[in-house]
Amino acid sequence: MANNDTKICPYCAETDNKVIDSRLSKDGNVIRRRRECLVCSRRFTTYEHIEEIPIMIVKKDGRREIFNRDKYTCQYCGHQSRSLTLDHVVPRYREGQHTWENIVSACNQCK
């Protein structure tokens, strides 16, 4: 599976980074993500067009796969926990889909 979630650090070109914030643009077409490079600790922003996001429906029992992908870390505050929940980046009422790219791990404070 191609990991489209990986964005390259513009400073050191490393691919290891964590998402510290995800925001949907006003028109609902772009997800703006603040990322922090795990290698050089610098922060950068990526813009992801929703239509470019591959539709990968998460299976009913896919929670663990999402948590594994996110390394059991809340994608909003970076808190590591075994009791995370799933959060839709684009909310359901805005037709956010139950897909791999639209679901992130979140702790109970951030969901």
Which residues contribute to the site for Zn ion (CB under 5 A)? 9, 11-12, 14, 37, 39-40, 74, 76-77, 79, 107, 110
- At its nearest, how many Å lie between Zn ion and the CB of residue 1? 24
Give 14 or 65: the residue with its C-beta nearer to Zn ion: 14
Distance between CA atoms of 85 and 62, rounded to whole angstroms? 12
Q: How far apart are the first and last CA of the chain?
A: 27
- At its nearest, how many Å lie between Zn ion and the CB of residue 57? 25
Give 29 or 45: the residue with its C-beta nearer to Zn ion: 45
Give 19 or 53: the residue with its C-beta nearer to Zn ion: 19
Q: Tell me, what amino acid is at 73?
A: T
- The two tokens of residue 6 are 């990986």
- The two tokens of residue 70 are 């996110």
Give 37 or 53: the residue with its C-beta nearer to Zn ion: 37
Q: Which of 85, 105, 108 is nearest to 22 (CA)?
A: 105
| Dihedral sign computed on CA atoms, order 83, 4, 21, 31 | negative
- At its nearest, how many Å lie between Zn ion and the CB of residue 62? 20
- At its nearest, how many Å lie between Zn ion and the CB of residue 99? 21
